[in-house]
Amino acid sequence: MLLEKEIGALQEGGVPIERLVQAAYPNAATGESVTQKYLGFLADEYKSDLTKMLFATSLCSDDINVSTDFRKVLSRPFSMGGLGGFPFSGFTGMVAFAHHIPDDGDAFIFYGPHIGITDSGELGRMIRPGQSKLSNSCGALMLALERMQQTEEVYVPHVVDYDYQQMLLENTLMPFKHEIVNAEDPKKEITEKAYFKIHKQINRLVRMSKQEFACNRIFLLGGIIINTSPGYHDYVDIRSFTVYNVSDLEAINPTSILNSKAFKEL
Ligand SMILES: [Zn+2]
């Protein structure tokens, strides 16, 4: 990983956005290449019929989250995500998704938070389409961070019906407040913690809904989306790829198969 001063030196010479993204997320790849890689993997290694696959996302409501091309290939995604990418549709949403899978098909869920990056490599902000000013991304996570960082009084989120997603998001992340605000880059750290919680919640919801899945397999792909300025590719830092065989879902240890031999030899 590049040091901060190295990033600074690179910027003066005009650094390609990929270098800046990979300075913060060394394993990030473009949404397009991630899509090709994983859909190819599903079709070739798992012999999955993509025309019978039901696709779901747990991504932030933010309009900027069009970064992967999965949705161009797999139509009619079931949208589980709310602010921050947390699966706000909950147990009910997961059960509904399970019931909608085509006969003899598979389930595929793509989940995770997102974070902007400026043309000079600053995380947590971005230029949006049609705008010239920088704005926060993810706005919900950056708002939560600002509230955690306030010093005049200790912030305590209270769930209210007119802003319950934001309040629940903040409640979920509050146990990590110390780690987040004291991190070298708190904006990056709150995004990491959001990923950690979303990953846990999706896995728990899948296990809770086991009896409702008529399909044999559930593919789970999790990562952090990195939003760049208009004109550049967006990137995804994949963190976990898990395949559940529904019949032995309880027994399965949901470890990522990223380290599996088949994956490495792609
Ligand atoms: Zn967002």
Q: Which CATH number do you get for residue 96?
A: 3.40.1050.10
What is the Å distance from ligand 1's center to 115 Cα? 8
Asked, for residue 93, whether it belongs to a domain, the answer is yes
Which of residues 42 and 254 earns the better pLDDT score? 42
Note the pTM of the prediction, 2 decimals.
0.88
pLDDT the model gives residue 152: 87
Asked, for residue 2, whether it belongs to a domain, the answer is no
Asked, for residue 3, whether it belongs to a domain, the answer is no
Average pLDDT, the chain: 88
Asked, for residue 14, whether it belongs to a domain, the answer is no
**78 within 8 A of 54, measured Cβ to Cβ:** yes
- Does the pLDDT value for residue 108 go beyond 50? yes
What is the Å distance from ligand 1's center to 120 Cα? 21
Quote the tokens at residue 251: 């027994």
What is the Å distance from ligand 1's center to 88 Cα? 13
- Overall domain count for the chain: 1
pLDDT the model gives residue 209: 87
Considering the chain, what percentage of its residues have pLDDT values greater than 70? 85
The verdict on whether omega for the bond into residue 138 sits within 30 degrees of 0, i.e. cis, is yes
Asked, for residue 19, whether it belongs to a domain, the answer is no
What is the Å distance from ligand 1's center to 204 Cα? 22
Asked, for residue 258, whether it belongs to a domain, the answer is yes
* Distance (Å) of CA 222 to CA 40, 59, 198: 17, 10, 9
Asked, for residue 13, whether it belongs to a domain, the answer is no
What is the Å distance from ligand 1's center to 38 Cα? 24
| DSSP 3-state percent helix, strand, coil across the chain (nearest 5) | 40, 20, 40
Print the domain residue range for 191: 27-264
Asked, for residue 199, whether it belongs to a domain, the answer is yes
What is the Å distance from ligand 1's center to 251 Cα? 34
